[in-house]
Chain A
Amino acid sequence: MSGRDTDGEAGGDAADGERAGGGGETEMNLVTAVNETLARELHRDEAVRLLGYDLGPIGGVYRATDGLYETFGEDRVIDTPLSENGILGTAVGMAMRGERPVPEIQFLGFFYPAFGQFMYALAKMHKRSGGALDVPVTVRVPYGGGIKSSEYHSESTETFFVHTPGVRVVCPSTPRETKGLLAASVRSDDPVVFLEPKKIYRGFEEPVPDGDFTLPLDEARVVREGGDVTLIAWGAMVRRAETAADRVDADVEILDLRSLSPIDVDAVLDSVRRTGRCVVLHEARRTLGLGAELSALINEYALDSLRAPVKRATGYDVHFPGHQVEDAYMPDAQRAQYAVEAVMDYEF
């Protein structure tokens, strides 16, 4: 019961491997990559429908859906009432009937009113129907701090989603990754929470393949190879990891997790078995942040390879602070560097 694909591509196969449709590349930033990918998916498959408040004439508060309402009309780009639970619940219902909705929740900090629909329907429908019903819904959610806004506009609470079975959680770190992962998410027959790092929406540009382009949804990406320490990051933290790696006196392997759920455990263990050290860098609070799970996995399955304890360079266990002190909350390249240096200096 997947969506009505217009060009004969089955919904699920995008997750099978990297695919580019050929052609050139265009430099663009991350939010433009979101926009282009949504336009492409709306064209490709008439079951794709965007929904959310402020998606229409304004084109989203971050302009991620700029121009799409004009191009595709109000039944494809649906400007909704101000109701997160309504948005998610109706998206699930549409998906049960063969649509392929792509709802937007304006900020991660305002997702919580939709937790009822998230837990009861989105994440559970496939299982409850014994696999008979698919809910191919991709929920786009801008997340993360460092934008000098207020608490609820800066949170990074991916753990809530990762802790819930039955839903994929995907988080791109560059414009190219955004295109490949968003297209694959929309085409996936699973529900996906797609976390967009708004801090770097306009942070930088890079070449993005012009044609049809998807990336696998359950493979981590080796950003750079190294032999001394594995630095795991995702979203906006990947760039900070790269800066830290440039600065430290160690050969750092950077792993961009990309899929936060399910985790590409093989990639994590392979890397750590080679380097013997690991640092996890994330914006989220530390307790039960994804770093805790990664650390546990490494401890359970790669203890023999470890030359130092796994360290977590993260946010603190506090509510996201006001903008005067947010820089002190946010993990930056310096914090990542300290953690890398600490595990490099450690001796059993």
Chain B
Amino acid sequence: MALWSERRPSDDFHRVLAPDGSLVGDPPELGDDELKRLYRSFLQTRRLEEKLLRMQRRGEISIIARSLGEEAVALGSAAALAAGDWCFPTYRQTAARAYWGSPVDRSVASLMGAETETVNEHLPPDEEGEGVVFTPPYVPLTVNVTNAVGSAMADRFRGTDTVSLAYVGEGSTSEGDFHEALNFAGVYDAPVVTVCQNNQWAISVPAHRQTAAETFAQKADAHGVPHERVDGNDVLAMYEATKEAVKNARDGGGPAFIEAVTYRRVEHNTADEPGVYRDEEEAEYWAERDPLDRFDAYLRREGVIDDDWVEAVGADVDAEVQAGVERAREVPESDPERMFDNHLHGEPSWTARHQRAELRAEQRGENPFTDFDGSGL
């Protein structure tokens, strides 16, 4: 009987912190500053998503996908990367960006529907290039995984020791692209780590309807890619497992696959009502396994943080989120003409020039269809 036909997945996985925050394995070697940075990123992700949810309800942004209760997957794994590595996220890895200081203002402005060109003009990206390189978040599922493999192959060809990391939902492992990606990764020994964020639901479809395999980790077997199953609500275990995979890839040891077991406690996105298709009591079970509570309990017990510190950091991230949102709000509405930008290099084509002129005429309240000889408006 496959594990996925059970209500809850087996907890036969790598774990460092038990749900109550007690140690059940050897913690990774992380200094207090690094532990605090993880905690701060956790908190920033939560506060940002709470803020975004309020903005969404007010109609300021259209749709968001939250990661509440799943943050440790992206956080622990992204923290295991080093500056210069490449990261290929989907829409559910807010915490990975938070850890690497990806500016709040830019992502909020994008969610507000601004064209990327407008965002770049008013909120230029960091030019320093000191962190992990993030691609734009991928919406078409699993397209990022093959891209990450190609990115890793490029590193191998050039002899650089950079690693690429891609995220994929457990539902998305049903796509052909997923298997093509892992197959290439295996065949070319690509320095790529794929993290499967198994939150057990792909919109309304439960994990046991995605696969008859016992685990998602197992899927990597057929492609000769080493894999590990990890407690996705344990940020230290995520960090540790990814750190090892990344180091191995960096040292020429090839790809790795990590299945991070977690749970989607909230809606798929703000257009979704999970009560229609699932028993919401499950979410309570998983709330008791909250990744931040667990980490919090551990750090307090170790004397790394206390109430005062948490309160101060909370205020600090709130201010940062608020400031980011304010800057995003100040970005002017995108000029509709921006839609023509960045399609091809070089001089705009006849068609691009004429259509742009049509749009401009229409915006001025003039008839855009009066050009009958191709000379333009």
Contact present for B340 and A316 (CB under 8 Å) = yes
Contact present for B140 and A110 (CB under 8 Å) = yes
Contact present for A321 and B115 (CB under 8 Å) = yes
Interface of B is mostly: loop
- A109: Cβ under 8 A from any B Cβ: yes
Contact present for B369 and A113 (CB under 8 Å) = no
Which residue of B110, B204, B277, B340 is within 8 Å of A318 (Cβ)?
B340
Contact present for A318 and B343 (CB under 8 Å) = yes
Contact present for B204 and A316 (CB under 8 Å) = no
Interface string of B141-154 (1 = CB under 8 A from A): 10000000000000
Contact present for A58 and B203 (CB under 8 Å) = yes
Which residue of A57, A86, A110, A324 is within 8 Å of B204 (Cβ)?
A57
Given contacts A324-B334, A328-B363, contact A81 B174 (CB under 8 A): yes
Question: Residue on A with the closest CB to B175?
Answer: A83
> How far is A141 from B232 in the complex, measured between Cα atoms in Å?
35
Contact present for A324 and B369 (CB under 8 Å) = no
- B54: Cβ under 8 A from any A Cβ: no
Contact present for B204 and A58 (CB under 8 Å) = yes
Contact present for B351 and A81 (CB under 8 Å) = no
CB-CB under 8 A from B5, the residues of chain A are none
Contact present for A81 and B211 (CB under 8 Å) = yes
CB-CB under 8 A from A313, the residues of chain B are 369
Question: Residue on B with the closest CB to A322?
Answer: B113
Question: Residue on A with the closest CB to B209?
Answer: A79
CB-CB under 8 A from B174, the residues of chain A are 81-83, 86
Interface residue stretch chosen among A131-139, A251-259, A338-346: A338-346
Question: Residue on B with the closest CB to A313?
Answer: B369
Within 8 A of A (CB), among B326-377: 333-336, 338-340, 343, 351-352, 355-356, 358-359, 362-363, 367-370, 372
> How far is A202 from B147 in the complex, measured between Cα atoms in Å?
38
> How far is A346 from B174 in the complex, measured between Cα atoms in Å?
55
> How far is A109 from B370 in the complex, measured between Cα atoms in Å?
33
Q: Which size bracket describes the interface of B in this complex?
A: 35 or more
Interface centre among A84, A286, A316, by most B CB within 10 Å? A316
Within 8 A of A (CB), among B263-284: 271-272, 276-278
Interface string of A73-107 (1 = CB under 8 A from B): 00000011111111000000000000000000000
- B41: Cβ under 8 A from any A Cβ: no
> How far is A206 from B252 in the complex, measured between Cα atoms in Å?
65
Interface centre among A319, A328, A341, by most B CB within 10 Å? A328
Within 8 A of B (CB), among A290-348: 309, 311, 313, 316-319, 321-325, 328-329, 334-335, 338-339, 341-343, 345-346
Given contacts A81-B211, A287-B351, contact A113 B172 (CB under 8 A): no
CB-CB under 8 A from B172, the residues of chain A are 82
CB-CB under 8 A from A112, the residues of chain B are 140
Question: Residue on A with the closest CB to B205?
Answer: A53
Given contacts A152-B139, A287-B351, A321-B339, contact A85 B203 (CB under 8 A): no
Given contacts A286-B355, A323-B62, contact A109 B369 (CB under 8 A): no
- Report the minimum CB–CB distance from B297 to chain A (whole Å): 35
- B318: Cβ under 8 A from any A Cβ: no
Question: Residue on B with the closest CB to A311?
Answer: B369
Question: Residue on A with the closest CB to B369?
Answer: A342
Contact present for B340 and A338 (CB under 8 Å) = no
- B80: Cβ under 8 A from any A Cβ: no
- Report the minimum CB–CB distance from B62 to chain A (whole Å): 5
- Report the minimum CB–CB distance from A87 to chain B (whole Å): 10
CB-CB under 8 A from A150, the residues of chain B are 62-63, 139
- B159: Cβ under 8 A from any A Cβ: no
CB-CB under 8 A from A329, the residues of chain B are 336, 339
Given contacts A82-B174, A287-B351, contact A346 B372 (CB under 8 A): yes
- B129: Cβ under 8 A from any A Cβ: no
- Report the minimum CB–CB distance from B15 to chain A (whole Å): 28
CB-CB under 8 A from B351, the residues of chain A are 286-287, 317
- B82: Cβ under 8 A from any A Cβ: no
- B210: Cβ under 8 A from any A Cβ: yes
Can you name 7 A-B pairs with beta carbons within 8 Å? A57-B277, A81-B210, A113-B175, A316-B358, A325-B115, A338-B362, A341-B369
